[in-house]
Structure 1
Amino acid sequence: MKNLLDLAIEAAVKAGETIEEIYKHDNFELEIKQDNSPLTKADTAANTIINTFLKTTPIPIISEENKETDYEERKHWKKCWIVDPLDGTKEFLKKNGEFTVNIALIEHGKPILGVIFSPISKELYYANVLDKKAYKIIVDENYKYSDNLFDEAHRIIPKKTNDSLIKVVGSRSHMNDDTKVFMKELSANYPSIEIIPKGSSLKFCLIAEGKADIYPRFAPTMEWDTAAGQAICEAVGIHVISKSTFEDLSYNKSNLLNSHFVVSNHTFVFDKK
């Protein structure tokens, strides 16, 4: 498992290096995909790099930018990689720096390893769910990082929550009426609410670090948007709960679209009416 996590970390950082180079030179070569989402040169370049690393393993790959394998084949996979080579393409185009590389390893539908790398802030998050440990380091400007990745000094553990203040993290690009209603309902239980806007999978990281308390997502996401973030959260004891099943999100489904969900380090139960 450590070797696989090391490999995913190296792949994410190398992809991030290429993404930043394209970002700095404004060489986006923007296209619009069939689902009306943006695709840039950075998405495809990062995907090629990540695939080069992950294909050295016998584990199949689900990536936003790969051709989707038919479920009749996928349903027999015990393990698979799930990759978003550039999560937050809209943030990339806005040049606000809040985009990431996401790589997760899934076993029997559950994330067991996760890596999230932010090429601009150089924040690298990684986790082994089975060991119940998540870590964070800062990669240097030359994309070098410590050999002591699994030092206790790098571990992240959610801080104790403040019952008088709830910090709600939301998407910069997908804040909608359902989310606003949800936050209004929270105000009935918490004297003070602070809203923290953040793009891409960094929202999961804020929850895992204890810098935010709840991330409600009542807009469409795909499995590659959430798998790595869920791994990092689950490694520190935080769950990503589906609004449809009231259970943890699962992966390598017949339909790769997620249900709406909430990530919370507070005791939280959906209204099941």
Structure 2
Amino acid sequence: MMPAAAVLPAGIEEEQLLAHLRRLSWGAADILLAYGRGEQPPYGFPKALSVDEGGEGPVSAADLAVNQWLLDGLAQAFPNAGWTLLSEETAKDQLTAGEPLDAEWLWILDPLDGTKDFLQGTGEYAVHLALVRGGEAVLGVVLLPEKEELWFGLVPEQRAWRENRAGEQQPACLSPRRALSELVLVASRNHRDQRLEQLLEALALGDSKAIGSVGGKVATILRGETDLYISLSGKSAPKDWDMAAPEAVLQAAGGAFTHADGRPLRYNTGDVRQAGCLIASHGGSHQELCQKAAAAMAEIDPGFAV
């Protein structure tokens, strides 16, 4: 009998790791909330300068500050950990097209997912942290600063829960809806095209609601408020850091997040784009959703690789 694969790198204890992730996540929340309100951020980070003042505005300042906070925090807390750190902000310097990083264990971080929502003041932005091994996300953290909500997902343990700042925990609670005509879609505010509208018409779903950030969308599925989210790439596609953490939490909760042909999402493949027709759901109707979506896309956009 083959031994079970390690859940975490050698020498890393789960409770110790979760404790540091809590500290870093709530620190990131404080940084983002301060920048979003035009206040002085904590931990010595500079106040955002407007473009007129010679700066790049609050989004860039917040993004870079949280990026530094997370990378420095993980490096200082675990100086001997056998993992590599990759974030949206460092990818340009770390990655070579077509070449995966040489890392058995890889953190994929998005310090600010939902920049338009951050800038527009909707509050629907998130922070993503995912630990990946062999191309698969094994641990996910999704922070929703404005909701004071922190989601954890441990995929091998099939355990997902949310916490508030007081540490009070609630498990994920996926909805019991199963008929496609009853399913509630959570959709993007800013990324919709005609093909997606045609696909949704073919699926004949029930209600829908618009939420920013992939992490924010998946959190509505985890709370049972909605049932599915569809990402349909066009001229651009979401990246590894957009999907890895939300996918891990959803998988850990018993949901599903795959391509429309059933293929699982993979990370650190040499191509950070998560292209195709990706479906995240509570899992109960996932196979039917995938089959109908794949058939519909074959007519809507022949040759499109789902």
Normalised-by-shorter TM-score class: 0.7 to 0.9
SS in structure 1 of the partner of residue 145 of structure 2: coil
**Partner residue, 2:269:** 253
Pair member with larger Rg = 2
**Partner residue, 1:10:** 23
Q: Spell out the pairing of 1:195-214 with structure 2 (5 A cutoff).
A: 195-200=208-213, 201-214=215-228
The separation in 2 between residues aligned to 1:183 and 1:29, in whole angstroms, is 42
Q: Spell out the pairing of 1:52-201 with structure 2 (5 A cutoff).
A: 52-56=72-76, 57=78, 58=81, 59-66=83-90, 67-71=92-96, 74-139=100-165, 145-146=166-167, 154-163=170-179, 164-187=181-204, 190=205, 193-200=206-213, 201=215
The separation in 1 between residues aligned to 2:133 and 2:248, in whole angstroms, is 11
Q: Spell out the pairing of 1:197-236 with structure 2 (5 A cutoff).
A: 197-200=210-213, 201-219=215-233, 220-236=237-253
CA contact (8 A) 1:30 1:39 kept: no
- More displaced stretch, 120-129 vs 261-270: 261-270
Q: Once the 2 structures are TM-superposed, how far is the Cα of residue 7 of structure 1 from its aligned partner? A: 2.3
- Which amino acid counterpart does residue 24 of structure 2 have in structure 1? A
**Structure 2 vs 1, CA of residues 30 and 39 (structure 1 numbering), >3 Å: closer, same or farther?**
farther
- Which amino acid counterpart does residue 80 of structure 1 have in structure 2? L
CA contact (8 A) 2:59 2:118 kept: no
- Which amino acid counterpart does residue 111 of structure 2 have in structure 1? P
Aligned equivalent of 2:256, options 218, 239, 245: 239
**Cα deviation 1:228-267 (Å, max 9, x = unaligned):** 1001100012221124x63111111201111231112223
**Greater strand share, structure number:** 1
- More displaced stretch, 230-239 vs 73-82: 73-82
**Structure 2 vs 1, CA of residues 255 and 29 (structure 1 numbering), >3 Å: closer, same or farther?**
farther
Q: Once the 2 structures are TM-superposed, how far is the Cα of residue 6 of structure 1 from its aligned partner? A: 2.9
Consecutive unaligned residues of structure 1, counting only runs of 5 or more, are: 32-37, 140-144
1:47 and 2:67 aligned: yes
Q: TM-score, normalised by structure 1?
A: 0.85
Q: Once the 2 structures are TM-superposed, how far is the Cα of residue 186 of structure 1 from its aligned partner? A: 1.3
- Which amino acid counterpart does residue 23 of structure 1 have in structure 2? G
Q: Once the 2 structures are TM-superposed, how far is the Cα of residue 29 of structure 1 from its aligned partner? A: 4.2
CA contact (8 A) 1:30 1:41 kept: no
Aligned equivalent of 1:269, options 262, 272, 290: 290
The separation in 2 between residues aligned to 1:257 and 1:39, in whole angstroms, is 22
**Cα deviation 1:207-245 (Å, max 9, x = unaligned):** 2222111101113101001111001100012221124x6
Consecutive unaligned residues of structure 2, counting only runs of 5 or more, are: 1-7, 9-13, 40-46, 52-57, 299-306
CA contact (8 A) 1:81 1:103 kept: yes
The separation in 2 between residues aligned to 1:28 and 1:240, in whole angstroms, is 36
Q: Once the 2 structures are TM-superposed, how far is the Cα of residue 155 of structure 1 from its aligned partner? A: 1.2
Q: TM-score, normalised by structure 2?
A: 0.76
- Which amino acid counterpart does residue 247 of structure 1 have in structure 2? R
- Between the aligned residues of both structures, percent identity stands at 25
- Which amino acid counterpart does residue 69 of structure 1 have in structure 2? Q
The separation in 2 between residues aligned to 1:47 and 1:30, in whole angstroms, is 20
